[in-house]
Amino acid sequence: MKVNSGYFRFFAIGLASVWLALFVFFPNLLVVITSLLTRDPSATVSLPFNLNSYWRTLDVLYLDVLWNSIKMAALATISCLLIGFPFAMAIVSLPKRWQTIALFFMIVPFWTNSLVRTYAIQFILGNQGIINKSLLALGLIDTPLQLLYTPFAVILGLCYILIPFMVLPLYSALEKLDPRLHFAARDLGASAFHRFIKITLPLTSPGIVAGCLMVLLPAMGMFYISDLLGGAKNLLLGNVIKTQFLNTRDWPFGSAFSVMLMMLLGVMLWLYYRASRFTNKQGGIHDSNF
Amino acid sequence: MTSPRPLLSLQGLSKTFGSSRVLNQFDMTIYDGEFFTLLGPSGCGKTTILNMIAGLETSDTGSILLDGQDITGIPAEQRPVNTVFQSYALFPHMTVFDNVAFGLRMAKVAKAEIPARVREALEMVKLNHLADRKPAQLSGGQQQRVAIARAVVNRPKLLLLDESLSALDYKLRQQMQIELKRLQRQLGITFIYVTHDQEEALSMSDRVVVMNNGRVQQLGSPREIYENPANLFVARFIGEINQLRGEVVSVESDHTYEVKVEGLQWQLQANHNFTPGTKVHVLLRPEDLRITYIDEDHKDQFLTGTVVERSYKGSTLDSLIRLESGIELTTSEFFNEDDPSFDYRPNQKVAVNWVPGWEVVLPVLQEDDQ
Amino acid sequence: MIRIFKWGYLSLILALIYLPIAVLIVNSFNAAKYGNKWGGFSLQWYQKLFNNDALIEAALNSLTVSIVAASVATVIGTLAAVALHRYDFKGKGLLSSMVFVAMLTPEIVMAIALLIVFITLGISLGFVSLVIAHITFCLPFVIIAVYSRIKDFDMRMLSAAKDLGANELRTFWEVILPLILPAVLSGWLLSFTLSLDDVIVSAFVTGPSYEILPLKVYSMVKVGVSPEVNAISTLLLGISLVLVVVSQLLIKKDH
């Protein structure tokens, strides 16, 4: 069906290609190049090429931050999965009309700026916040709990901001699951637990990996959440990169962290493709194979 | 009848997708005003040919001439050829009227002229009263008619129909077959119809070309194709057929041979030239076979076998007979309630023969044994 | 039993998701500044907001950037989705994998990559750099939204348009566009939301001359409590909701 077709085609392809080349491909290339250059106080970066920035990420100080950052992001991802999976399953079990409504209600709050919502969480977790006040009023505690400026607060904030990115891929994977598989398994004598372990979980694994990918990676970069909820101690990788770029102006070092994040993306994508090849089904990162 | 005028000429069309050859040096001439059908199993290349004529696909080699003019390089939107697509491909966001008017607007027909032309086209398919409906509000048969009206409104020189009736149920399909034929006569447009349904092909066409694997198997009138299939593929594809092996014993006269089939000698007619000793296929349509009681005196004139199954098909009564050699034959007889001779039971021994001359005899080729 | 549990869980999670928003809205009408007790109903923060020219200007700047970025991204993205579906061309695989990469790249990575590019190309940081950056991260979402709609099309419909004499442009305009309009609208809306919500990329690519709302809010809440932020957030949520409802109605009407 594809016949030569002139200007429209040229225009349609050209516009997006040029844009993506100029603002996606080229920039990422530049980040890799920058990470291999040397910091220069007068001109931000200069030759020669070297791997110094990467070696420096292994410095104990940064390794600690890196480890902490990965830990908090990973915990947030796992929490999102544990909260999101039953949530997505509950939505899928609703009648079609209610599914749309439930998803709609889940997404509405995300039309408020995420920064503002983080700020609202600050309100809730504070010493004078709703949680502490209720607990005090109930007599469960005598002195306010220190909730704000803890790793817990950061993880909670990440979870809250990123949960839709977990639920949506899970939902689309669960929705594609043929209910007859469950009937068949039931007919063959599988218990509810076995049906979940042997059918639901393996067949939605691409969706699970997709969801984790869409939570874990952004989570590592959300510097404003750790800024507002974690205080100075609980830093994310995003805070490090931001400081290197906007304060210390050590671009090669900041770029090196960023390249490492992209490598992590590569690993997760590899996992995703393995999972989807295994189930022969797309999970939800993009349902559209170009 | 005046001698037919060639309208469309396809010359040496070939097409390869990856490593598979869809079409191999296809040549064909289609005459003005005829109802021409491309018949074959899916993947035989028939839809590719249709798309090439429409300009929706390009051929690797060869050329297409319409009215003597080479249109090979002309894009689809500029060809005076229209298509009725499989599953209709109506524009769901437009009313029936707008769907039909689409081609006229594209051709920049004067605005004032459009409503009358659309009405005329809808009148032809008897849908004027539904002009304001959206396609989703119509039944399958009505959508089919809209697709036809949309395709003929520009008065194309050629109308292409791609499996156009396949989405309809059996009864509607029968009705539309008659209607298509009527429309074709009324419009005087040449129709090229693509189908995998042999019944459709036989009932509507002036000429049929049977295709397989990108090659022509046989070209002819429906009757020729049914009664004188050129090869085993055509014989098997067009309707049901029984297949027996034989060997030519002697040549009696031109096209008449003495052939040994199932241990008996028969005098058979064939369009081919055989020499004694040639192995042949003897093909028999189920409705050409006759079943009778065994007559010990004329045993050498009948095949003998056992009734395996009898099934009542309404207008016919079909039987499956297993011959002594193990080969099974299907027979089909018109049902006659008053005739007791129909009363064969399973496991009963019966005799089978056929009206001489109704058989088809074909040479055995290597590729037949697949 | 399972039913009750299911509905209970759904409502619990939804309630938790709404809690911060509720706190925000309630506090925007709360006379008490610290928001930890109810000081009576008051519109004073809205009043203060309308006198805070810097905040209003930042909000208007944000709206401008979002509308421009969403619109340009929608145009480019729609054309790209149509092209990706309809045509075969060299580098198609490369183009689609770039879309994919652009969508999955963590914002922080995209932020520094774009910053480096703007500095390299000599594009000054401000309105232009913001708009370019926002278009870039919205683009893949528009492409995916529109593409997933086109791929459900009966391709023969587009052949039919061609067969009836429509060239590529008219096929796009008269057949494809009306049918993908809901997806185009939701692509625009998604872009608009993403753009309005963005903190990370904007923090890197904006300049001192052009302040946008999320960054302004960021600097305000970092220093302390500012109830005007509650007020403007409530207003923006209201605007977003109206937009969504209107677009949903438009889509419904279209069907």
Mean of the pLDDT values across residues C48-76? 91
Q: How confident is the model at residue C74 (pLDDT cuts 50, 70, 90)?
A: very high
Q: Please report the pLDDT score of residue C39 as a whole number.
A: 76
Q: Please report the pLDDT score of residue A286 as a whole number.
A: 43
Which residues, 6 or more positions from C192, have their beta carbon under 8 angstroms from its beta carbon? C66, C67, C70, C243
Q: Please report the pLDDT score of residue B116 as a whole number.
A: 93
Tokens of B146: 């809209």
Distances (CA, A) of C252 to A41, B351, C141, C182, C255: 58, 71, 22, 9, 5
**B328-363 pLDDT per residue, tens:** 889 888 766 666 555 678 888 888 888 888 888 888
Contact B246, B260 (CB under 8 A): yes
C-alpha closest to that of B308 among B341, B343, B346: B346
C-beta atoms of B91 and C166 within 8 A: no
C-alpha closest to that of B258 among B247, B243, B245: B247
Closest Cα in chain B, distance from residue C157 (Å): 4
C-alpha closest to that of A88 among A290, A289, A286, A283: A283
C-alpha closest to that of B211 among B50, B60, B78: B50
Q: Assess whether pLDDT exceeds 60 at residue C228.
A: yes
Partner-chain residue, chosen from B54, B87, B90, that has the shortest CB–CB distance to C163: B54
Partner-chain residue, chosen from C23, C113, C151, that has the shortest CB–CB distance to A288: C151
Q: Which amino acid is at A8?
A: F
* Chain A residues close to C21, C-beta within 8 Å: 109, 112, 117, 120
The ranges of chain B with pLDDT < 70 are: 1-3, 335-343, 366-370
- CA dist., res. B281 & res. B271, Å (int): 13
- Number of other CB atoms surrounding residue B178 within 10 Å: 11
* Chain A residues close to C244, C-beta within 8 Å: 108, 111
Tokens of B228: 């004188």
Q: Is the dihedral of CA B87, B93, B99, B102 positive or negative?
A: negative
CB pairs under 8 A between A and B: 11
Place of tokens 């372990």: A197
Angle (CA) B24 B26 B29, round 5°: 175
Written as one string, the DSSP assignment of C229-255 is HHHHHHHHHHHHHHHHHHHHHHHHHH-
Which residues, 6 or more positions from B335, have their beta carbon under 8 angstroms from its beta carbon? B312, B314, B315, B316, B317, B342
**A117-150 pLDDT per residue, tens:** 888 888 888 888 888 888 888 888 888 888 888 8
C-beta atoms of C164 and B93 within 8 A: no
The ranges of chain A with pLDDT < 70 are: 1-5, 42-46, 278-290
C-beta atoms of A23 and C236 within 8 A: no
In a mutational test of the C interface, the residue from B71, B77, B134 whose CB has the highest number of chain C CBs within 10 Å is: B77
- Number of other CB atoms surrounding residue C241 within 10 Å: 13
Q: Please report the pLDDT score of residue B366 as a whole number.
A: 67
ipTM of this predicted complex?
0.85
Tokens of A121: 């969480």
Partner-chain residue, chosen from C159, C166, C174, that has the shortest CB–CB distance to B89: C159
- CA dist., res. C216 & res. C82, Å (int): 38
**C138-180 pLDDT per residue, tens:** 999 999 889 988 888 778 888 899 999 888 888 889 999 998 8
C-beta atoms of B89 and C156 within 8 A: yes
Q: Please report the pLDDT score of residue C36 as a whole number.
A: 65
* Chain A residues close to B17, C-beta within 8 Å: none
C-beta atoms of B58 and A1 within 8 A: no
C-beta atoms of A1 and B75 within 8 A: no
Domains identified in chain A and CATH numbers? 54-289 (1.10.3720.10)
- Number of other CB atoms surrounding residue A90 within 10 Å: 19
Residue A198 host element (H or E): none
Which residues, 6 or more positions from A99, have their beta carbon under 8 angstroms from its beta carbon? A91, A92, A175
Does the beta carbon of C197 lie under 8 angstroms from any beta carbon of chain B?
Answer: no
Closest Cα in chain B, distance from residue C86 (Å): 13
Does the beta carbon of B56 lie under 8 angstroms from any beta carbon of chain A?
Answer: yes
CB pairs under 8 A between A and C: 248
- CA dist., res. A19 & res. C80, Å (int): 11
Q: Which amino acid is at C141?
A: F
Question: Which chain A residue's Cα is nearest to B76?
Answer: A3
Does the beta carbon of B17 lie under 8 angstroms from any beta carbon of chain A?
Answer: no
**Helix, coil or strand: residue B233:** helix
* Chain B residues close to C159, C-beta within 8 Å: 51, 54, 56, 76, 83, 85, 89
Angle (CA) C199 C202 C203, round 5°: 80
**Helix, coil or strand: residue B207:** strand
* Chain A residues close to C103, C-beta within 8 Å: 286
